[in-house]
Structure 1
Amino acid sequence: MASNASRSTASPSASASSTVLSTSTIPTSVESKQDDFPTVRFTNVQHLFDVINCTTGDFLAVTHVSPNNFAKIERERDKRRRKFRFRRYSSTSQILHITIPTYLSETLHLEFNALYQKKTDRMGVWNNWRTIGAATRRAQGGHPGGDSGEGDSTGGPRPERGFAGNWPTLVQIVLLAKFEHTSRATILEKWEEEARSTRPGATTTRHAAAPCPVLRQTITITRDTTTDPVSYNVRGALVFGFRLLFLRDPGPGEGDFVFSVQELEHYAEVVWEQVED
């Protein structure tokens, strides 16, 4: 479901089992220093809000954000009832990644999440899945100003992780849904957590024991305007493993979630309706 793991903006290490995040890589008026993401140095809260107001894209990286300043930003966001999300904040690097919702970025994750929910209904496991949305997840035992993150569309299995106050599982499946304006393509990247490999005889440290994200599948969808009506080229079906989502083996009538070429074609069509030429 998704986190931009390839660009160091993953969800917190403890998050829902399934997350859908989205990003639209459109150029912005703010200087981009790395990975084509606009980056700004934090000076004060009002200046940051001014930058967000003039950012034309849906993503902003903010450097030099201390835990105390992050807590101030969070309080001011809530006070002003602003809708942007804190994709990821690391108190170690003092970098804050902000998602600014647009019609395109919201369509990328909401439409796919709706497709997933339909599949849970057809499989009869809808009541075993809990939708969490963009709820803030803090590092276990954390506090405002500490490491945290907010997905776009998130969820996890219940009753395994369904009761109030229960700490969610580590991210198992992450889907990064993005639209690249340069190549005019919708790209779906499926990431899964995998245990880090260690050398035989090596001491297992806390860092080494932590799982790391691995890219398992990439689906690129392009638009063909030479056909009538317009068609979409999809490079294969997308598959989510049942056990990674529900933390158990599939029962009778249950199995992996397969998003067919036809379903992804329709998804791409809906996404393209929000693309501004």
Structure 2
Amino acid sequence: MMYDYENSVALVTGAGSGIGRVTANRFATEGATVVVADIDTEAGQETTEQIKEDNGNATFIEVDTSRSESIEALVDATLNKHGRLDYAVNNAAIGNTPAPVSEINEEEWDRILDVNQTGVWAGMKYELPALEDTGGGAIVNVSSKAGLRGSPGRAPYAASKHGVVGLTRTAALETATDDVRVNAVCPTIVETPALESMSEAERSSITEEVPMKRAASPEEVANVIVWLCSDEASYITGQSLPVDGGETQK
């Protein structure tokens, strides 16, 4: 399905790889001018070049989503260059080394929450006023199935992704009369280089938990993100939509 994103500006964090890269490419294919944001400059520039090679419009801006001042600078740079912001996808995230709650050290805890949870809060802090100035728009925050249920061994990640769900619901209520919609997607395991690097046994043990018996593709998650930003989802806000092959229904 094709959407009309002509003359709009979409900002995607963590766009150097995985879900973020595919989402940025999809927005560009639909006609949006895309701001590709990532802490990894090489990966972010590679995404930008991919979009340009496909005759899309894209700009790379480096961002460290663990620092609110970096996100503020990202949004300011977007407005200075393009004069507007219509859509934002807060996707940048990191995981933790598996360990039980009692063995998580404070440095690890802070590192995960700074990027995954505080980064989403700071993103919306600066994106929401920009969207309102544009006349409305949509935000999609990327949570996880770990934001909807427990995730043994991944306490910092699960806590941060639960926080993303809470932030999404709250921001949606605060902006419901401002022509701004805020939703989240909650993917299960996704086909990424990290998954591909696992042994066949490891991959099988993970995907066996999914009723559809496979990982999601980045495209399947990106499709939902782009749809949630579109006019076809115009009456949907405050939702945290599982993209999980049925896993959270177990």
| TM-score between the two structures when normalised by the length of structure 1 | 0.27
Give the number of the structure whose residues are more often strand, by fraction: 1
| TM-score between the two structures when normalised by the length of structure 2 | 0.29
Which has the larger Rg? 1
Relative contact order, higher structure (CA 8 A, sep 6+): 1
Give the number of the structure whose residues are more often helix, by fraction: 2
